[in-house]
Structure 1
């Protein structure tokens, strides 16, 4: 007998079926998102283009909001900012797909609603994102599924993600930042640390980060290895991310999400996963642009910068950079 993995209608505590708002300018993407949300058990509240939604009457937002924003136009970004505010206040869950070129602008629009942000995703990635939303619905039940079925579904979800990642690695444009990956915008409590990019000084003998030239030399030395050895043998995205942000901090430079993905030295999918994990661990923070509230950067948390300063002092980073 073939297993039935379809969800029953998703309902809230009062027994009302949860609704979804689908917004996408690309018709085929809009149709896919509508179909997948309906299959997951959501009632379609609204399904239209971003422009139609922006110009229409202000109606209630769905419990789930699926948005596809391929171009970072002024009107689109204004709408995303509105959705972020409304979603954050209403407790709606947002899944926003965009392109690599628009990532920085789209990312900067969200500070209240903590959406899942997908970049150039395939349909599988969108389905997985909806699945993550379903996982947060209390007391959700699947039809005719025992514990073994649940484990099988979990493994299947993981395998879909792994297959998508392998396909991305085969894509010619992946190294330039293409591919499908998820990046969750910071939760409302995720704070920026202003414009102070130096390790805090409290009058003690705490070490400071090395000069930017020393850090850049260490980064260059790491990058040179791929000329002589298999790059996969030395892939360490977390360390490359920390090094790049440490050098930027020493230079008092701000780092955008796309730039950090490139600095990680791995496919964008892997880089974004590591950035997300490091944000969750409070190693990295979001820094809002004081001149443009819709733009945000990534920086080291103060405690991370302090830990790196102590590490570089312990290993003698200046001497290492000379070697």
Structure 2
């Protein structure tokens, strides 16, 4: 279901959805969206933030509540022409699967739908974790090799990992920042690895990194960074912790096993 009062864009979106085998319904108001969602047992909804009756976040909350009442699985994509980091975080809080900034190319929408189907079909196994890591980046692929069955049988060397210091991690972060700046930052940046390095440093220093800080530190566009956060949380590499003093904010904490793996990896590569 496409929820947008802009009929032209809704029509373009529907065309793309039909091309990938979906049967789209178009709602031009919140009232119509709630009716169509229940009437047709909608399982995927693309919701525009700027709606005439209420904003997209509020509507998504109502759609989620309705789906829970109907015992129906519902995945949500938020679309907006006025993207901001605060809006992306708010969307993530209401279980939005993806966050797309208008104008949205057909390939972007197609990939977002494919990600939803991929999440539904994914199995939470060790092999799946390795596969997800491999998709994130070349550096993460090398990390993934640390948790394959062949590597599990090898003795680990905690003493070597203990040589990795916060200063060394800061140096790695600076190296990544310089690499990202090459060619204007569009070719050589590795957002996933930069975000993990920031989370590693925070954990080493007994701190927690906010979602917004992690996104900014990754150097990626907001929508890309938010997808990385979601992937990390879904795979268990990173845990999301609510801020007890400000319920509007979440912190990110690196998983203990991932923390140990990153220390080993840096000990092998950065220390030689």
The normalised TM-score by structure 1 is 0.51
SS in structure 1 at match of 2:13: helix
**TM-superposed deviation, 1:301:** 1.7
CA distance in 2 between counterparts of 1:130 and 1:220 reads: 35
Deviation string 1:203-250 (CA, Å, 9 cap, x unpaired) is x98959744x66435423442456788867753333212111122333
Partner in structure 2 of residue 254 of structure 1? 209
CA distance in 2 between counterparts of 1:290 and 1:265 reads: 27
Structure 1 residues 97 and 214: alpha-carbon distance in aligned structure 2, compared to 1, 3 A threshold: same
Matches within 5 A, 1:52-67: 52-53=31-32, 59-60=38-39, 61-67=41-47
Structure 1 residues 290 and 36: alpha-carbon distance in aligned structure 2, compared to 1, 3 A threshold: farther
**TM-superposed deviation, 1:278:** 4.2
Matches within 5 A, 1:169-318: 207=162, 210-211=165-166, 215-224=169-178, 234-249=188-203, 250=205, 252-256=207-211, 259-266=213-220, 271=225, 275=229, 278-279=232-233, 281-290=235-244, 295-311=249-265
Give the structure with the larger helix fraction. 2
Gaps of 5+ in 1: 1-19, 139-203
Partner in structure 2 of residue 181 of structure 1? none
Aligned partner of 1:42 among 20, 23, 40: 23
Aligned partner of 1:106 among 88, 91, 108: 91
CA distance in 2 between counterparts of 1:134 and 1:311 reads: 32
CA distance in 2 between counterparts of 1:242 and 1:105 reads: 22
CA distance in 2 between counterparts of 1:34 and 1:228 reads: 39
CA distance in 1 between counterparts of 2:50 and 2:216 reads: 21
Aligned partner of 1:129 among 112, 121, 126: 112
Deviation string 1:19-53 (CA, Å, 9 cap, x unpaired) is x3x32244433333345446645263x61234x45
Which of the pair has the greater relative contact order for Cα pairs under 8 Å at 6+ separation? 1
CA distance in 2 between counterparts of 1:229 and 1:66 reads: 34
Which one has the largest radius of gyration?
1
Contact conserved, 2:27 with 2:36, CA < 8 A, in 1?
Answer: no
Structure 1 residues 217 and 261: alpha-carbon distance in aligned structure 2, compared to 1, 3 A threshold: same
SS in structure 2 at match of 1:42: coil
Structure 1 residues 208 and 120: alpha-carbon distance in aligned structure 2, compared to 1, 3 A threshold: farther
Structure 1 residues 276 and 233: alpha-carbon distance in aligned structure 2, compared to 1, 3 A threshold: same
2:49 equivalent to 1:69: yes
SS in structure 2 at match of 1:90: coil
Contact conserved, 1:109 with 1:295, CA < 8 A, in 2?
Answer: no
Count of matched residue pairs: 225
Structure 1 residues 305 and 119: alpha-carbon distance in aligned structure 2, compared to 1, 3 A threshold: farther
**TM-superposed deviation, 1:286:** 3.1
Aligned partner of 1:83 among 63, 76, 84: 63
Deviation string 1:95-115 (CA, Å, 9 cap, x unpaired) is 3324530211111111xxx63
For the aligned residue pairs, the C-alpha RMSD in angstroms reads: 4.6
Contact conserved, 2:240 with 2:250, CA < 8 A, in 1?
Answer: yes
CA distance in 2 between counterparts of 1:277 and 1:26 reads: 31
